[in-house]
Amino acid sequence: MNFNYIKSLVLILAISITACSSDDDNNSLSGENKLRVEFDNGVNGDDLLLGAATYTNTNGETLTINRFNYIVSNFVLIDAEGNEFTYPKDDSYFVISEENELTEVVLENIPAGKYVALKFGVGVDQEKYQQGAEGQGNFLQIAEDNEMMWSWQAGYKFLNFEGTFTSETVTEPTVFQIHMGSHGSSLDNYREVTLQLPTQALVSDNLSPVVHMAIDANQVLDGQHKIKLSEKAVIMIDEVKSPQISENVNGMFRVDHVHNGDNIQH
C-alpha cells in the first residue's frame, strides 16, 4: 500500500479524534458560574468623557455631556439550541451610570451552557412597577441615589441624558435634559433588546465569561429618529419624541466581544 496514502489516513483519523475530543469537552460543560456584562459607554466611536469633551452629531449640534445614566433589566440568556435562561426577576434590575462608575452587571448562578445571544430590557416594565414601592426591593433606593426617579408616582427615568449644546441657531451653551420613561399605560416606553454574541459565551464551573458591550450615546439623538435639541432642549413627557427616543436608545447597544475566562470560580 502507498506510504503516503497510509500517512493521510492516520492524519485524518488523528484530526477526527481531536475534533471528537473537543466536542466532548464542549458538551461536558457542567455546574454554574457568574456571567459579567460590561458597558463601555462611548459617543460615535469615541470615549465618553463627561464634561470634558465635545461631540458633534449630524444634526449640526455640538454637545458636552455631563450625565449618561440608564436602566437595564430582565436579562435572558439564549443558548445554541434556542433554550432560554431567564435571570430571576427580582434581581434583574440595574442602573448603568457613567458618572458613578456603575458600568458592570454581574449575573450570578448562571447554569452551564454555550450562550449565543443576550436579551434584556431598557427601563422598568409595567409588571414590576405595578408591584408598588414595597415590591421594588433595594432597586428603588439605587434608582433614587443615581437620579433615576422623578418620584414614585411619576415613575422611573429609564434614561437620564444631560449636558449643554450649541448649534447654528443656538450660539450660547444651553442646557439639555433628556429623561425617558413610562408614564402610565398610555405612554409605555419600556423596550427589549436582543443581541447576538460574536462568539459563544461559555459557562461552567471553571468558565466565567465577560460580555463586553459597546454603547453609543450618540444614538439617543442621532439614531433612527433625528431629535433636534434646537427645537426642544428639555424632553421628559412627550407623546411623539419620547417613544422615538426609546427606539433610538434600543439602537445604542452592541456586543463588541466576549471573553471566556478560564478557571474563574463562582
Calpha distance 157→159 (Å, rounded): 5
- Residue 73 host element (H or E): strand 62-79
Candidates 165, 213, 174, 178; CA nearest to 68 is: 178
Q: Would you state the pLDDT for residue 187?
A: 85
Please identify every stretch of the chain with a pLDDT value under 50, giving residue numbers as ranges. 3-7, 10-26, 263-266
pLDDT of residue 12: 46
Q: pLDDT at position 25, please?
A: 45
Q: What is the model's pLDDT at position 184?
A: 73
What are residue 227's phi and psi, to 5 degrees?
-110, 115
Beta partners for 93? Answer: 73
Say if residues 187 and 245 touch (Cβ distance below 8 Å): no
Residue written as cell 439617543? 220
> Alpha carbon of 128 to those of 54, 95, 113: distances in Å?
37, 15, 28
pLDDT at 6: 47
β-bridge partners, 111? 32
